[in-house]
Amino acid sequence: MSISMKTKAFAMVVSLGLVAGCSSTGDTTEGGDAYGSDVSAVDQAGGTVYGGGDDSGISGGGLTEAEREQARIAAEQAAEAAQRAITTFYFDFDTSEIKPAARDVLIAHAKFLQANPGQQVRLEGHADERGTKEYNLALGERRASAVQRFLVVNGANRNQIQTVSYGEEKPAVMGSGDGTWAQNRRVELIFK
């Protein structure tokens, strides 16, 4: 099953849960039809979600425990894949400390590397234009090494990871100023 199918299955499970949770068990009007149409609510046993008496609706009781677990796993994989789509991590001025917001995403990358031992990644460290070329090369290396250590501690194999520093040589954005400099202080994960 592809990720999009898993995501759709999860969405359907969540939708069924919401519809079942929001269903009414209140009194009906004299004719037995509270809404004056052929719409029926979900009964407590997980009956028809939508449809008249012809049972053409979606059944809330049709999912087995295995299907629910499969949908949960699919949702987790989709969330992890979405996190792994983020491959650029930013740093504060003159530091190689990984920001707390980046840690969950890096953990997702580490789990992916652990699960795929043949996968290789290159960590490219960058700095902004302030400082000497030598200092910025060293700072870019410290940033790439910090990300490498974090990935290894969280399950990746050190042999899967290569680090390189470009210092200030490959800016993401040209120019000067706080906003520009912030975008250039980064480590990029390049999967091979």
What pTM, to 2 d.p., does this model score? 0.62
Do both 94 and 71 map to the same domain? no
Provide the 8-state DSSP code for 42: P
Residue span of the structural domain in which 178 resides: 86-191
Count of domains forming the chain: 2
The C-alpha atoms of residue 98 and residue 106 are separated, in whole angstroms, by 10
pLDDT at residue number 22: 52
Asked if the structure places residue 81 within a domain, the reply is no
> Helix (H, G, I), strand (E, B), or coil: what is residue 11?
helix
Residue type, 3: I
The rounded radius of gyration (Å) of the Cα atoms in the chain is 26
SS3 helix, strand, coil % of the chain, rounded to 5?
45, 10, 45
pLDDT at residue number 43: 47
pLDDT in tens, 28-43: 444 444 444 454 444 4
